[in-house]
Structure 1
Amino acid sequence: MLDLTSMKINDNNDNNDNGWLELALSSNKDNVKNLIEIKDRLILAYKNYENIITEYTTNPIKSTFLQERELLKSFYEKAPKNLNRNLLEQRNEHLFEQCPFCGRPCKPSILDHFLPKDLWPEFCIFPNNLVSQCDKCSTKKWSHYYSDIDNSVKFIHPKFFNLLQYIGIQIEINFPSPESIKQPDFIITFTLPRGININDKKRLSLHIKYLDIKTHIREYITENYLYWLRVSEQKRYYVPDSLNQRIKESYTGGNNNRWDVALYLAMINNDFIINHFDSIEIKKEIQDHSDIKLEILTEE
């Protein structure tokens, strides 16, 4: 997955002269006076945010801003113009080609809160608490945060920890019978480099489990796999060549956590699949020759 630690804001300000809170406080919203009244409390909460995130074995104390929840949410959900510009930029103008939480190959279209805004509304418009993500991860995270059973936060914050980039993916493809080319059994394995300590392994395992990443990978690669079967039947080029080219374009710098690349590697290393593509090419050749029309010459 992506390493977003460089995006963490260390001074509570964005790239403008004022922070996001100042943009809200200087707005013309009807309820801005109520926000001004709790400004100092919010600034103190912001200063404590990193402590909350890094103390991942401790369940954060209950928010002291629950009475102001609707007020604070209104500045996110119906943000004033200048603040809304920042929100839209972070939501739409990033260059991510995969979800920072799960690695799904897509442009993440949802800007969501790491600490759920219903439970900790004080961080509604705190930029470090906002992370772009795919719809699957946003749905899974929702208002979930801490596991009392595991004594740990369920998810890893990609702006504060670079652990997610170390997750590798390997895929093996099996078939229940020789005729089941369209019914593969995908075996998905997550790998980590040597030297990862036991606490980080546990955190990564919880992140993978609670986001149900394996299920999402299986859904994605099944659809992708069936797409390439259709391509092989309908197009006039050899699919393994296309897969190899895509691997060369995407699989750079040892980046082995891409779902599509892991699938393409599994496909080109599977003899059963390659034989299937080869048989289609042979059938195409036969068909091409059978379509040749012979012109009969007659003597005049």
Structure 2
Amino acid sequence: MKFLDEMKVDSNSTWLDLATSCRKENVDDLVEIENELLDRYDEYDDLIENYLDDLDDSEFTDNKDLLKEYYEKPPAGLKKLILERRNDHELLECPFCGNPRSPDTLDHFIPKDNWPEFSIHPNNLVPQCRGCAPTKGEKYYCDEDEKAIFVHPIYSDILSKFKFRIVVEFSIQTKKPTFSLKIMKPRGLDNPSGDRVVKHLRALKLNQRVMDFCNREFTKWKNKLKNKNFDIRIALNHRIHEREDSEQSKNWKTSLYLGMLDNNDLIDYLNSLSTTENTDTEEFEEFEEFEELEL
């Protein structure tokens, strides 16, 4: 998970200017509410930073279809910026959940169905994976916890401070692994921040999604070893070190590979499917500076 502060757009008018200067048939309707939208944009930072407060009902519900149309069917100039934000971010994993696939969709952090005024506000558009998108959906605030459900990765760096640890156990009798996910909170970080991140990840149904991923990856490597001769320990270490040391364990894949390397029985079993012998004994990253949180 990564802090996306560099994606914050400082000018509130740039994207809206492209919309109001286009030649769409309904552009006059947008121009009519332009000043009210800009006033609302000016409030956005405070709305996100004051995550303990619920949002008031939108005053733009009568303009909902109009505002959503400018996101879903934008004019050319605006479409270019939306596509750049969706695809040209160079992210290797989802900033919301750590899914090790480059996100290829955009989340309206404040949902556009309920608050359509933020449909084309750039800071409300966050790259997100397609696993998070339907799970997050239109949810925003939890009345029970009295806070926003999710952490905004453009406005807060707390997600980027956490790491994943995947513990791998292996049954020699059944030849099957089991996986368990741990969320690693840096020591010294306050408990409310830890609670907030855990709630964020629970709301994204991370535990089940990571378990499904781990099982798919195990099957993938098992099939590869049956068809090719290579040392799984060397292969996993190569994959891990494709990431900078500081970024390891911040996505599911490297966390799983580290957990696999920590289980000699599993490694021995996988290598038994091939004809090579283990030659790489490089140690994996330890977690002395982190404490486990149950998800």
Does structure 2 conserve the Cα–Cα contact (< 8 Å) formed by 1:251 and 1:261? no
SS at match of 2:194: helix
Aligned pairs, how many?
A: 277
Shift of 1:49: 0.5
Residue identity opposite 2:86 in structure 1: R
Q: Which runs of 5+ in 2 are unaligned?
A: 278-295
Residue identity opposite 2:259 in structure 1: A
Are 2:129 and 1:150 equivalent residues in the alignment? no
Aligned to 1:262: 255
SS at match of 1:161: coil
**TM-score normalised by structure 1 residue count:** 0.88
**TM-score normalised by structure 2 residue count:** 0.90
For 2:205 and 2:251, locate their aligned partners in 1 and report how far apart those are by CA, in whole Å.
16
For 1:78 and 1:189, locate their aligned partners in 2 and report how far apart those are by CA, in whole Å.
41
SS at match of 1:219: helix
Are 2:181 and 1:188 equivalent residues in the alignment? yes
What percent identity do the matched residue pairs reach?
A: 36
For 2:216 and 2:74, locate their aligned partners in 1 and report how far apart those are by CA, in whole Å.
38
For 2:244 and 2:17, locate their aligned partners in 1 and report how far apart those are by CA, in whole Å.
43
For 2:244 and 2:252, locate their aligned partners in 1 and report how far apart those are by CA, in whole Å.
11
For 1:66 and 1:40, locate their aligned partners in 2 and report how far apart those are by CA, in whole Å.
16
For 1:218 and 1:130, locate their aligned partners in 2 and report how far apart those are by CA, in whole Å.
28
Are 2:196 and 1:203 equivalent residues in the alignment? yes
For 1:11 and 1:24, locate their aligned partners in 2 and report how far apart those are by CA, in whole Å.
14
Residue identity opposite 2:174 in structure 1: S
Aligned to 1:291: none
Runs (4 or more) in structure 1 with deviation over 4 Å come to: none
Shift of 1:212: 1.1
For 2:198 and 2:187, locate their aligned partners in 1 and report how far apart those are by CA, in whole Å.
15
Does structure 1 conserve the Cα–Cα contact (< 8 Å) formed by 2:228 and 2:274? no
From 219, 228, 231, give the equivalent of 2:224: 231
Residue identity opposite 1:2 in structure 2: K
Describe the superposition over 1:213-272 as per-residue Cα deviations: whole angstroms up to 9, x where unpaired. 121111112111111111121101112111111122225225321211111111121121
Shift of 1:79: 0.5
Aligned to 2:168: 173
Aligned to 2:284: none
Are 2:69 and 1:74 equivalent residues in the alignment? yes
Describe the superposition over 1:64-87 as per-residue Cα deviations: whole angstroms up to 9, x where unpaired. 001110011111111011111111
For 2:137 and 2:274, locate their aligned partners in 1 and report how far apart those are by CA, in whole Å.
47
CA root-mean-square deviation? 1.5
For 1:107 and 1:158, locate their aligned partners in 2 and report how far apart those are by CA, in whole Å.
15
